[in-house]
Copies of this chain bind each other. A is one copy, B any other.
Amino acid sequence: MIRLLQQSFDPGAELSAFCQGRQEVGAVASFTGIARAEQGRTETLELEAYPGFTEAAIGEIAREAETRFGLQAYLILHRVGTIAPGEPIVFVATASAHRREAFEACDFLMDYLKSRAPFWKKETGPDGSRWIEPRASDLTDLARWETKP
C-alpha cells in the first residue's frame, strides 16, 4: 500500500499494524526517514507531489520490488506539505519469508524514493528557501540495483 500524507504520522503505529497477524512472514524490515534540523540550518522542509502521478510512479517500482524480492507485503508512507525537523518524512516496511529479501527490498525502495520518485523538495532555513536537486550519492546508491547488460 502507498499513501501520501498531509499530516505527521507515527512510524511505530504503522509498524505494529503492518506486523499484526503475520504468522507466515518471518521477516519485516523497515526504514524511517526523519527530517534533520542540521543544527538549525533547516527550519522546515516542503515536499510537493503530483497526486495520482506520484503514487502511480511509486507503485510501479513497488511492484518491481515485490517480484524481484518475493515480498509478501509492503507499506510505503510519504509525507507531503510542510515538515518540521524531527518529523518523519518517509516510512517503508517490507515483509518476506527471510530477512535478506526484506532488507534488500526496503533498501531498494528507499533508494528509489530518495532519488527518483516524483517529489519536489524545498528547504527553508535562516538564509531563505531553496529547491533541492538529487544528491550525487543517491544516484550512486540507485546504480547498485541496475543489472549489468
Whole-angstrom distance between the alpha carbons of A100 and B13 in the complex?
A: 24
How many protomers of this protein does the assembly include?
2
- In the bound assembly, the distance between CA atoms of A8 and B103 in angstroms comes to 23
User: Count of chain A residues with Cβ under 8 Å from any Cβ of B?
Assistant: 41
Stretch at the interface among A27-35, A47-55, A120-128: A27-35
Q: Is there a chain B Cβ closer than 8 Å to A25's Cβ? A: yes
CA distance A24 to B34 in the complex (A): 8
Between A15, A28, A100, the greatest number of chain B beta carbons within 10 A of the residue's beta carbon is seen for A15
Q: A11: which of B15, B33, B85, B103 is its contact (CB, 8 Å)?
A: B15
Q: Is A12 in contact with B16, judged by CB distance below 8 angstroms?
A: yes
Q: Does A60 contact B (CB under 8 A)?
A: no
Q: List chain B residues, Cβ under 8 A from A25.
A: 34, 36
From known contacts A31-B102, A106-B103, infer whether A16 and B11 are also in contact, taking CB-CB under 8 Å: yes
